[in-house]
Chain A
Amino acid sequence: MAEDKTNRVRKFHQAKWDEPVIFELDTKGERGIKVPEAEKEIQEQIGDGVSALPENMRRKDPPALPEISQMRVLKHFLRLSQHCLGADLNIDIGQGTCTMKYSPKINEHLVRMPEASELHPWQDESTVQGALEIIYKTDCFLREISGLDQFTFQPGGGSAAILCMASIVHKYFELKGEPGRDEIITTIFSHPSDAAAAAVKGYKIITLYQNEDGLPELEALKKALSERTAGLFITNPEDTGIFNPKIDEFTKLIHEAGGLCGYDQANANGILGITRAREADFDMCFFNLHKTFSSPHGCGGPGLGALGVKKELRDYLPVPLVEYSGKSYSVNFDLPNTIGKMRGFFGVFPAVLRAYAWIMSLGAEGLKEAARVAVLNNNYVLKKIGELRGASAPFAEGRHRIEQVRYSWQKLKEETGVTTEDVICRMADFGFHLWTSHHPFVVPEPFTIEPTESYSKEELDEYIAGLEKVVEEAYEDPEKVKNAPHNSVVHKIDQSTLDDPEKWAITWRAYLKKSKNW
């Protein structure tokens, strides 16, 4: 019988190429690629082209880019890629709030088709009917999923979607003649950008803290309300994975106070087809297509925060919107109250295309199944982690969670001195990724796990086995954990140079100037 490989930690070792920084590969005279030259006739007629530039606008010294032959460039970046663990390689459940699900490969093939990749956004409408159809239909799908009436794909990420909501709220009250509404209310377990991006629009932020159930209190909300209330931006389920069952009472109070409600559904992975912005009476909501809807995260973008609104707010959306006449698709720039533009053109089209393909692959039942399995997986992991020495899941004890849980290693730290940071470093030695959590650390020594629907039970068990192993080591040989990583690309980094203006080096040229101060 084959060996039982569950509950076993791999004998992992990360690739370690000891790869130089690209500038150290510079070999004068080498070339990575040849670019086309102008044809002889053009050169004869036009000359060198450069001398047509005004003298004072010509670059005197060429940029000090490295000179490297092609295969060496390839090899360098391939090696750096091997120094990186994508969701395709690890059991990527340790990056809670980020929904590290499977990004289907077929969708990568589709976005690479020239009919997607080689489209210019200013092509005539008649030449991009397919692209507009994808945008329009994905909009329609998201309307069903949220219950709202119109989506825009302009925001380049969740934070941009929050900024877009704040911009709409601002414009709404400006046109309504209520400029005194200058406060946005949020909760501490809502994404930091619910506070930060709203503040960019000049809003004062009021943050509600949690009670013992991990939830904000209605009474606290009531106290925060006034004629200055512009709106509520709130994540639900919050970053703790706890669903706020009184969410409709929150929106009701905000509406009674004259404000607007924005639902941060960046991560809606546990509630697709279960509960929607409409039922909770939100005026706006957004989904991150790079989270719930499978577009890959790309080391941090490009993503997309698809923002939906009720029809009353449609005219405030950024332009353009894509419309369908029943025969053809068209682009509408004519929205009377538009906030203008969030970004260039139509937004991140490849993310829309991937979301479309993902939704089409699953359909309504499949979406619901994805949500249900994400929740099943999460609660399975929750119970498993509950059995780990030193770990806890603060708030809402004994209750189920939706798609993720914010845990704590506080007890582990008290008993062994091993911190979340240490556990993270040691998990890397086994090929796992673990993340702390968003600041501030209301939960001490936090970590957040979100298993999504993409990983098998066996993989979840393997991840748990990794945590078990590290906990075991923490109690038996804490120094081993504290000095980790041991099998990764690098060892503990010196943080001090990164925070000191005399020493920090954000580029190679700055490093060459400043490393003598290290």
Chain B
Amino acid sequence: MEKKNKTIHPYIPNSVPEIQAKMMEYLGIKDIEELYADIPQHLRFKGEMNLADAIPSEYELKRHVEGILSKNLSCNNHISFLGGGCWQHYVPAICDEINQRSEFLTAYAGEPYEDHGRFQVLFEYESLMAELLDMDVVNVPTYDWCQAAGTAIRMAGRITGRREILVSDTVSPERLAAIRNYCQPVMNVILVKHDPKNGVMDLEDLESKSSAETAGVYFENPSFLGFIEHQGDEISRIVHTHDAICVLGVDPVSLGVIRPPSQYGADIVCGDIQGLGVHMFFGGGLGGFIASRDEEKYVMEYPSRLFGITKTAVDGEYGFGDVAYERTSFAEREEGKEFVGTHAALWGITAAVYLSLLGPNGMKELNTTILQKSRYLMKNLSEIEGVRAPYFNSAHFKEFVVDFNGTGKTVQDINASLLSKKIFGGKSLRSEFPELGESALFCVTEIHTKKDLDTVTQAIREIVEAVNTPNFREDGEANG
């Protein structure tokens, strides 16, 4: 019988038959199958996995995957106004240079000795975020903002021993869904209403729902809908009178010029670091942070790794290690605080690079540019008949709701027309905030040029005005 030539795969050095023979000889076996003796036959998979034919050559694999990816249209060659939890900011070259380093990319859970660099860089990440947030404790990143908010709320529950969390009804609907799942069945989520005119929290509703059962309040600033909640001081005062905890979700990008939540009473702050130097990756670039004061009762409730600085056996040498490791589920299984595992460390490293590059002046300038450009687009869009931006009568940072109700057009139609002009319009809010009708959440950052903003304004003007002044395409078909 002719023996089929065995494929030696580049990823599997010991697939070489001669090597395998040597190793098997050492083990005193004739066939690798013998090593599976503990898996009984009735548990064996007898069929063949029906996978696609292998593409072992690297070049052909690259062509194959590129072929699939080329079906995507990216924000690189379209003008995108999508935001709402994942944002297109400029990623400095050095951020990618560092996070592609083999040493960081392929390390995992080493010790403070051979992975000293991992501990130091994540300590620096915590420290840089701490300055931005004006708080003394920041965790090694968790998965994303959803998880960070869920954990921050559960921390508030444990610290107060109470079961109710008041949540602003303008938080991200995705996040709210994740929070609800994360709280159930241990805590109850109670929504607090907003003022329909300016979006900010209805303080009377907050007062009426606060009680001795209240573990805390959670709201976001800037909110998911873009407006800035200016009543932070009052909100935290109200929850603090009930001995409850004020939990804030914040876009850290905004803290170059916007007051950090710790300065208006937040006890725990959380959010996402994707905007700090990480690509969007179809939502894969998310990373969550949690911050608090340096009080034992808070620190001991973190489930996350907390890397601290320490001394070593040699004078003047910095060492790094886990702070209060006994809190964690790694140490205590179900007796630990929630759970810890593989989260988003590489994006923490990346954010550290980003914040080191920007510094205080870069963050301030970045914020200024974003504020100017977003206001410019709001102003220009509002000049189009039937369009109003922002929907809410409040200050905004980079995101804002554009109200298309006066145009007689749906967001879906407007976005379809924009797409044909290589523009990704704002996210429709129709299903998640039906009370806003035909409205869309737009996001403007430093990456948008004046030309981009003028282009989308002109495009929307044409789309909207097409209703009132029907024009005719070259083929004579009525458009509108």
| Same complex | yes
Q: Does A359 contact B (CB under 8 A)?
A: yes
Does chain B have a CB within 8 A of A298?
yes
Instruction: Write out the residue numbers on chain B whose beta carbons fall within 8 Å of the beta carbon of A199.
Output: 334
The smallest C-beta distance from B234 to any residue of chain A, in angstroms, reads 10
Instruction: Point out the residue from B44, B75, B111, B181 that lies within 8 Å of A428, measured CB to CB.
Output: B111
Among B12, B34, B80, B370, the most chain A Cβ lie within 10 Å of the Cβ of: B12
Judged by a CB distance under 8 angstroms, whether A3 is at the interface is no
- A38 and B333 within 8 A (CB): no
A517 to B258, CA, bound (A): 34
A210 at the interface (CB under 8 A from B): no
| Beta-carbon contacts under 8 Å, B166-215 to A | 172, 174-175, 177-178, 180-182, 184-186
Q: Is the CB of B286 within 8 A of A343?
A: yes
Residue of A nearest to B221 (CB): A57
Taken together as a complex, chains A and B put the C-alpha atoms of A299 and B90 apart, in Å, by 24
Cβ contacts under 8 Å, B137 to chain A: 506-507, 510
Given contacts A41-B450, A57-B230, A157-B343, contact A275 B39 (CB under 8 A): yes
Inter-chain CA distance A195–B326, complex, in Å, is 16
> Which stretch in B121-129, B460-468, B472-480 binds the other chain?
B121-129
Contacts of B24 in A (CB 8 A): 376
Evaluate contact between A114 and B76: CB separation under 8 angstroms: yes
User: Is B342 touching A290 in the complex (CB atoms < 8 A)?
Assistant: yes
- Docked-complex contact B11 and A455, CB < 8 angstroms: no
Considering the complex, which residues of chain B in the window 431-453 have a beta carbon less than 8 Å from any beta carbon of chain A?
446-447, 449-450, 453
> Is there contact, CB below 8 Å, between A192 and B330?
yes
Judge whether B347 is part of the interface by a CB distance below 8 angstroms.
yes
Chain B residues within an 8 Å CB radius of A302: 143, 284, 286-287, 342-344, 346-347
Asked whether B85 is an interface residue with its Cβ less than 8 Å from the other chain, the reply is yes
Q: In whole Å, how far is A407's beta carbon from the nearest beta carbon of chain B?
A: 17
Task: Evaluate contact between A341 and B177: CB separation under 8 angstroms.
Answer: yes
Given A298-B105, A345-B174, A506-B308: A364 touches B419 (CB 8 Å cut-off):
no
Does A348 contact B342, Cβ atoms closer than 8 Å?
A: no
CB distance from B152 to the nearest CB of A (A): 14
- In the complex, how many angstroms separate the beta carbon of A189 from the nearest chain B beta carbon? 12
Docked pose: A54 CA to B200 CA in angstroms: 13
Instruction: Say whether B62 contacts A43, CB under 8 Å.
Output: no
Cβ contact within 8 Å between A57 and B114: no
- Is A360's beta carbon under 8 Å from chain B? yes
Give the residues in chain B near A347, CB-CB below 8 Å. 283-284
Segment of B237-245, B309-317, B402-410 in the binding face: B309-317
- State whether B345 touches A36 (Cβ < 8 A): no
Q: Which of A49, A82, A456 touches B117 (beta carbons < 8 Å)?
A: A82
Cα A373 to Cα B14 in complex, Å, equals 7
B contact residues around A492 at 8 Å (CB):
312-313
**Given A170-B184, A345-B283, A357-B65, A438 contacting B330 (CB threshold 8 A):** yes
Partner of A195, one of B154, B320, B334: B334
User: Scoring A residues 280 to 316 as 1 if CB is less than 8 Å from chain B, else 0, what string do you get?
Assistant: 1000000010100010111111110000000000000
Q: How far is the CA of A491 from the CA of B315 in the complex (A)?
A: 10
Interface string of B270-296 (1 = CB under 8 A from A): 001000000111111011000000101
Q: How many angstroms between the C-alpha atoms of A318 and B178 in the bound complex?
A: 9
Q: Is A116 an interface residue (CB 8 A)?
A: yes
**In the complex, chain A residues 441-460 whose Cβ is within 8 Å of any chain B Cβ:** 453-457, 459
| Residues of B close to A42: CB separation below 8 A | 372-373, 376, 450, 453
B51 within 8 A of A: yes
Interface members, chain A 328-362 (any B CB < 8 Å):
339-351, 353, 356-357, 359-362
Instruction: Tell whether, in the assembled complex, residue A123 and residue B73 are in contact, meaning their CB atoms are under 8 Å apart.
Output: yes
Q: Once the chains are docked, how many angstroms separate the CA of A317 from the CA of B26? A: 47
A34 CA / B333 CA spacing, docked (Å): 46
B37 at the interface (CB under 8 A from A): yes
Interface with B: A124-132, A216-224, A253-261, A408-416, which one?
A124-132
Q: How far is the CB of A43 from chain B (nearest CB, A)?
A: 6
CB contact under 8 A between A300 and B72, given known A59-B260, A88-B102: no
Q: Is the CB of A364 within 8 A of B61?
A: no
A252 on the B face (CB < 8 A): no
The answer to whether the Cβ of A279 comes within 8 Å of any Cβ in the partner chain is yes
Complex: chain A residue closest to B369, CB-CB? A38
B358–A65 touching, CB < 8 Å: yes
Structural contact, A74 and B94, CB atoms closer than 8 A: yes
Which residue in A102, A137, A276, A508 is a CB contact (below 8 Å) of B52?
A: A137
Q: Does B385 contact A (CB under 8 A)?
A: no
A324 adjacent to chain B (CB < 8 Å): no
Question: Which of A47, A207, A275 touches B44 (beta carbons < 8 Å)?
Answer: A275
Residues B122 and A106 in contact, CB atoms below 8 Å apart: no
Return chain B residues, CB-CB under 8 Å to A356: 65
Inter-chain contacts of B76 with A (CB < 8 A):
114, 118
Of the listed residues B35, B258, B260, B341, the one surrounded by the most CB atoms of chain A closer than 10 A to its CB is B341
Q: Which residue of B lies closest to A488 (CB)?
A: B113
User: Judging by beta carbons under 8 Å apart, are A120 and B136 in contact?
Assistant: no
Q: A80 vs B120: C-alpha distance in the bound complex, in angstroms?
A: 7
Q: Is the CB of B74 within 8 A of A77?
A: no
The number of residues on chain A lying at the interface, defined by a beta carbon within 8 Å of a beta carbon of chain B, is: 223
Chain A contacts for B177, CB-based, 8 A: 340-341
Set of chain A residues within 8 Å of B424, measured between Cβ atoms? 120, 123-124, 127
Q: How far is the CA of A301 from the CA of B416 in the complex (A)?
A: 36
Given A360-B65, A505-B308 in contact, is the A299-B35 Cβ separation under 8 Å?
no
Contacts of B218 in A (CB 8 A): none
Q: Is the CB of A439 within 8 A of B343?
A: no
On whether the beta carbons of A300 and B342 are closer than 8 Å, the reply is yes
Q: Is the beta-carbon distance between B255 and A59 smaller than 8 angstroms?
A: yes
A30–B361 alpha-carbon span in the complex (Å):
10
- What chain A residues lie within 8 Å of B319 (beta carbons)? 490-491, 493-494
Could you say which of B92, B308, B329, B347 contacts A192, with CB atoms under 8 Å apart?
A: B329
A8 within 8 A of B: no
Q: A497 is contacted by which of B72, B311, B355, B375 (Cβ under 8 Å)? A: B311
CA distance A48 to B373 in the complex (A): 10
Report B22 CB to chain A, min CB distance, Å. Answer: 7
> Are A86 and B103 also in contact (CB < 8 A) when A73-B356, A370-B12 are?
yes
Q: Is the CB of A115 within 8 A of B70?
A: yes
Could you say which residues of chain B place their CB within 8 Å of the CB of A201? 184-186
Expressed in whole angstroms, the minimum distance between the Cβ of A417 and any Cβ of chain B is 18
Tell me the bound Cα distance from A275 to B33 in angstroms: 13
| B116 & A22 in contact (Cβ 8 Å cutoff) | no
A234 at the interface (CB under 8 A from B): no
Residues of the A chain whose Cβ atoms lie less than 8 Å from the Cβ of B37: 399-400
Contacts of A296 in B (CB 8 A): 105-106
Given contacts A82-B103, A103-B105, A506-B137, contact A56 B230 (CB under 8 A): yes
A202 neighbours in B (Cβ, 8 Å): 185-186
B299 CB → nearest A CB, Å: 7
Query: Is there a chain B Cβ closer than 8 Å to A2's Cβ?
Result: no
> A366 on the interface (CB 8 Å rule)?
yes
**What per-residue 1/0 map shows which CB atoms of A388-413 lie under 8 Å from chain B?**
00000000000110100000000000
CB < 8 Å neighbour of B294 from A65, A131, A435, A506: A506
Cross-chain contact of B329 among A193, A274, A380, A508 (Cβ < 8 A): A193
Docked complex Cα distance between A38 and B373 (Å)? 6
For the complex, is A180 an interface residue (Cβ under 8 Å from B)? no
Q: How far is the CA of A377 from the CA of B13 in the complex (A)?
A: 11
Q: Does A175 contact B (CB under 8 A)?
A: no
Report how far A116 CA is from B69 CA in the complex, Å.
7
A residues near B357, Cβ cutoff 8 Å:
32-33, 68, 70, 73
Given contacts A98-B109, A301-B141, A505-B310, 10 further A-B contacts (CB under 8 A): A33-B357, A53-B257, A59-B257, A76-B356, A83-B120, A201-B184, A274-B44, A300-B109, A300-B344, A506-B307
Can you name 18 A-B residue pairings with CB atoms under 8 Å? Answer: A32-B356, A36-B369, A59-B260, A85-B115, A121-B282, A144-B49, A167-B181, A271-B39, A298-B107, A298-B344, A299-B108, A301-B344, A340-B178, A343-B178, A357-B65, A493-B112, A501-B299, A506-B137
- For the complex of A and B, list the 7 residue pairs with the smallest distance between their C-beta atoms, beginning with the closest: A363-B54, A345-B283, A83-B117, A49-B371, A298-B346, A196-B329, A32-B357
